[in-house]
Amino acid sequence: MIKITTIPGDGIGKEVISSGIAILENLDLNMDFKEAAAGEECFKKTGTTIPEETIKMAKNADATLFGANTSVPGEKSPILTLRQSLDLYANIRPVKSYAGVNSLFDNVNFIIVRENTEGLYCQVESLLDDKTIAQRRITRKASERISNSAFKIAKHYKKETVTCVHKSNVLKKTDGIFKDSFYKIAKNYPNIKTNDFYVDAMAMYLVTNPEKFDVIVSTNLFGDILSDEAAGLVGGLGLLPSGNLGDKKGLFEGVHGSAPDIAGKNIANPIATILSIAMMLDFLKEDYYGNKIKTSVENILKQGKIKTPDLGGKNTTKEMTEAIINEINSL
Ligand code: GGG
């Protein structure tokens, strides 16, 4: 029995997780789903954005599926708390062009590997009179392990080059360590090419030559910002999946947020979650089903008959989900 904790959260999180469960229930797998609360709605009901019980349920599951959460001013972000509590230090975000999708580029295929536990996401900020300070913690340990994840991914997917993105000309100590750690770990992978760019230059290269990149490793905030830019290259956030991985645990979520403007309308694109489920199944060593899901999504996008509004169509979340289920069953 595979134990899955689901955390739908807020906004479109509920709709896309319900699509995700429909996809999983259709597979010939023995799975048990337990739902846990987190986010703005949970805060209104319980006074906390992430109850201890939710963290416990994520720790006890074989994998966790996360929808999205709306941030509550002054309160902890549930997703950051989960990443830190479960030490899910690697945020893996594959970015790919799909045939049939109207996008800026049709030849993109890279993976962003984002450090997930420190940087500006420590959630340590202070206010003294009119002076505010945010802590940007970068350690050798976390920098080396995320570089190692990036090289392992490059090796696994037979990618040629790993690119380190930083701003060490300004953040000399913090990003100095990040860059040094990258080149230290690179020595263990002599067959993989390396290069590094400042984040501002990288922001430009992604819109001029995105096809040149294979695996990109960066700190927490830079990795997040580049992910949204990358989504813009290939058709939007509705298509970008992600996995938050530690040494033992995995939590999977679309890169998008809770999108309150379209929540509850049955028009959110479920593909980011469905592709995150494919990543989850690979993580659970059920890659036969993971591959089936990926192929089905590719086929549906290529056929172009069913499109949610973000892809230029008028179909609903449920219609897209049903089309992908039918495609899976036809393979
Ligand atoms: N920009 C898309 C979005 O809002 N994604 C949700 C998000 O930012 N989550 C926090 C994170 O991934 O660090």
Q: What are the tens digits of pLDDT across the range 129-159?
A: 899 999 999 999 999 999 999 999 999 999 9
Q: Which residues belong to the active site?
A: 121, 167, 200, 224, 228
Q: Helix 199-208 vs helix 220-234: angle between axes, to the nearest 10 degrees?
A: 10
Strand pairing category for 109-115 and 125-128: unpaired
217 CA to centre of own chain: 14
Q: Taking the CB of residue 275, how many other CB atoms lie within 10 A of it?
A: 23
Q: Are 24 and 321 in contact (CB under 8 A)?
A: no
- Looking at the fold, whether 84 and 112 belong to one and the same domain comes out as no
- Looking at the fold, whether 122 and 223 belong to one and the same domain comes out as yes
First vs last C-alpha separation in the chain: 25
- Looking at the fold, whether 115 and 52 belong to one and the same domain comes out as no
Q: Are 80 and 118 in contact (CB under 8 A)?
A: no
Q: Are 279 and 153 in contact (CB under 8 A)?
A: no
125: domain range? 104-234
Strand pairing category for 241-245 and 250-254: antiparallel
Q: Whose CA is nearest to atom 13 of ligand 1?
A: 224
CA of 256 relative to ligand 1 center, distance in Å: 6
- Asked which of 202, 219, 234 is the last residue of a domain, the reply is 234
CA of 330 relative to ligand 1 center, distance in Å: 34
- Looking at the fold, whether 224 and 270 belong to one and the same domain comes out as no
**What Rg, from alpha-carbon coordinates, does the chain have?**
19
- Looking at the fold, whether 159 and 111 belong to one and the same domain comes out as yes
pLDDT at 317 over 90: yes
In a domain, 141, yes or no: yes
- Looking at the fold, whether 7 and 109 belong to one and the same domain comes out as no
Q: Whose CA is nearest to atom 10 of ligand 1?
A: 79
- Looking at the fold, whether 151 and 109 belong to one and the same domain comes out as yes
Ligand 1 pocket, mutate which of 70, 79, 221, 310 (most atoms under 8 A from CB): 79
Q: Whose CA is nearest to atom 11 of ligand 1?
A: 224
What is the per-residue pLDDT for 128?
87
Q: Are 123 and 178 in contact (CB under 8 A)?
A: no
Residues 298 and 211: their CA atoms lie apart, in Å, by: 19
- Looking at the fold, whether 314 and 267 belong to one and the same domain comes out as yes
In a domain, 151, yes or no: yes
For the chain, what is the mean pLDDT?
A: 97
In the block, tokens 């992600």 appear at 242
CATH number for the domain including 141?
3.40.718.10
**pTM of the predicted structure, to 2 decimals:** 0.96
In a domain, 279, yes or no: yes
Tokens of 56: 């416990």
- Looking at the fold, whether 10 and 66 belong to one and the same domain comes out as yes
In a domain, 179, yes or no: yes
How many domains are contained in the chain? Answer: 2
Q: How many residues does the chain have?
A: 331
Q: Whose CA is nearest to atom 2 of ligand 1?
A: 256
- Looking at the fold, whether 193 and 133 belong to one and the same domain comes out as yes
In a domain, 245, yes or no: no
pLDDT tier, 14 (very low <50, low <70, confident <90, very high otherwise): very high
The CA–CA distances, whole Å, from 190 to 161, 163, 178 equal 11, 14, 19
- Looking at the fold, whether 201 and 125 belong to one and the same domain comes out as yes
In a domain, 246, yes or no: no
* pLDDT tens digits, 66-111: 999 999 998 989 999 999 999 999 999 999 999 999 999 999 999 9
pLDDT tier, 242 (very low <50, low <70, confident <90, very high otherwise): very high
What is the per-residue pLDDT for 186?
98
Phi-psi region of 234 (alpha: psi -120 to 50; beta: other; left: phi over 0): alpha
What is the per-residue pLDDT for 122?
87
- Looking at the fold, whether 159 and 212 belong to one and the same domain comes out as yes
In a domain, 170, yes or no: yes
Q: Helix 271-283 vs helix 287-303: angle between axes, to the nearest 10 degrees?
A: 160
Closest CA to 244 of 54, 116, 81: 116
Q: Are 170 and 65 in contact (CB under 8 A)?
A: no
CA of 102 relative to ligand 1 center, distance in Å: 23
CA of 77 relative to ligand 1 center, distance in Å: 10
Ligand 1 atom with least separation from CA of 228: 1
In a domain, 98, yes or no: no
For 49-72, what is the mean pLDDT?
A: 98
Show the ligand 1 pocket: residues with CB < 6 angstroms: 79, 224, 228, 237, 255-257
* Residue 273 dihedral angles phi and psi, to the nearest 5°: -70, -40
